[in-house]
Amino acid sequence: MSYYKYHVFFCTNSRDDGAQCCAQCDALAQRTYLKRKTKELGLAGPGGVRINTAGCLDRCAEGPVLVVYPEATWYTYIDHNDLDEILTEHLIGDRVVERLRLPG
């Protein structure tokens, strides 16, 4: 059994050369939002959900991106509404959000 039911990694990479990156889409604030929501709902911690920052996940053109383990489900998102849907459907309901899913 995994230590966390779901482990979510948000790419928050920033590129100095101005190339497209997740940081341009306010990825760190988006990660902070989802982390706060999981804590408020009592989902955070061992056996539950862990939200982490990741460096470059090398999918900049599809960003912003996050990946949910243990399934390695990749998502893109635009705003809090998309993150709320990932939270409700995937992290709580155990259902992949197909409209936001990226090819693995």
Query: Per-residue pLDDT tens for 25-56?
Result: 899 999 999 999 999 999 999 999 999 999 89
Could you tell me the end-to-end alpha-carbon distance of the chain, in angstroms, rounded to an integer?
Answer: 23
Tokens matching residue 30: 């988006």
Burial 51-68 (b: 16+ CB within 10 A, else e): beebebbebbebbbbbbb
pTM for the predicted model, two decimal places: 0.93
At residue 3, the 3 state secondary structure works out as: coil
Q: How would residue 70 be classed by pLDDT, with cut points 50, 70 and 90?
A: very high
pLDDT of residue 2: 80
